[in-house]
Amino acid sequence: MSDRTPVTGANPDSARASLEALRTEIAKAVVGQDSAVTGLVVALLCRGHVLLEGVPGVAKTLLVRSLAASLELDTKRVQFTPDLMPSDVTGSLIYDARTAEFSFQAGPVFTNLLLADEINRTPPKTQSSLLEAMEERQVTVDGTPRPLPEPFLVAATQNPVEYEGTYPLPEAQLDRFLLKLTVPLPSRADEINVLARHAEGFNPRDLRAAGVRPVAGAADLEAARAAVAKTSVSAEITGYVVDICRATRESPSLSLGVSPRGATALLSTARAWAWLTGRDYVIPDDVKALALPTLRHRIQLRPEAEMEGITADSVITSVLAHVPVPR
């Protein structure tokens, strides 16, 4: 019997309530990190993938595991290491001596929610094994395309590229992620709360004991996505998104600005955020709220700009300050 709170999933309002309940469930295991939780929910609504970046020990993996425990979906985890092979992720053909035939053994990518832990600790060859899965939602082995389950979401964690033993993700793969969420060190109050929970017996390896239960499932996601698709976008908002992305291409600090794919992603995430906040139309503040996580990994700084301490976030923040906001 499921522990999930019954939710019909057919009504957009109940679907919104079930997705909002994810925050409460995740908070039973993870202290703070509200923006990262919101980003994960937005990605679910947009059928997008998420890259979480932060130093070791800030609960990146626990955050995704808590999300998985709060959803009535199939989940699998892959620890990316330097010796991981592409077939370890996608699956491979296995020879059966009894039948003298090859059969396909599915890899962990055949799931609803794939946790790709420390994805940048494996070489680019293995990283690229996820490209087809993330974009086409299928895996081709021996010329045969094999569709992945629906819904399908990759939630990948990575350490900052300055850390030893990391490989920068290729630009093509970065562009497959809808959002790049930064997971910062907790505030003093939050860190005290974390230690207090552990002193009371909290075990991050046993989320069920912490009270985390499934509160949303595939039906809720389907209803929510249908409602997001009906969220209206005015011509002025569309123009605002385009102007923001075009402004990045003209920035002297950047060697690569946001592509049209990035503009499409920003419009998609803004619509999801508008629906989550209870509106059926998008306003400029929705675009501003999702601009950083949607665009920060889609631009490249010039080397001289990096030497001056300029960051991707500061460039996007400057663009938002200078592009006229529609009235």
> Cα–Cα distance between 134 and 297 in angstroms, integer?
16
Instruction: Find tokens 């059966």 and name the residue.
Output: 96
Name the DSSP class of 309.
Answer: T
**Nearest C-alpha neighbor of 185 from the set 36, 297, 20, 29:** 36
pTM of the shown model: 0.86
Q: What is the pLDDT along the chain (327 residues), one digit of tens a residue?
A: 344 444 444 577 888 888 888 888 888 888 888 888 889 999 999 999 999 988 888 888 888 888 888 888 888 889 998 899 988 999 888 887 888 788 888 889 999 889 998 888 888 888 888 888 998 999 988 888 999 998 899 999 887 765 666 777 877 788 889 999 998 888 899 999 999 989 988 888 888 888 889 988 888 888 999 999 999 999 999 999 999 999 999 999 999 999 999 999 999 999 999 999 999 999 999 999 999 999 999 999 999 998 999 999 999 999 999 999 998
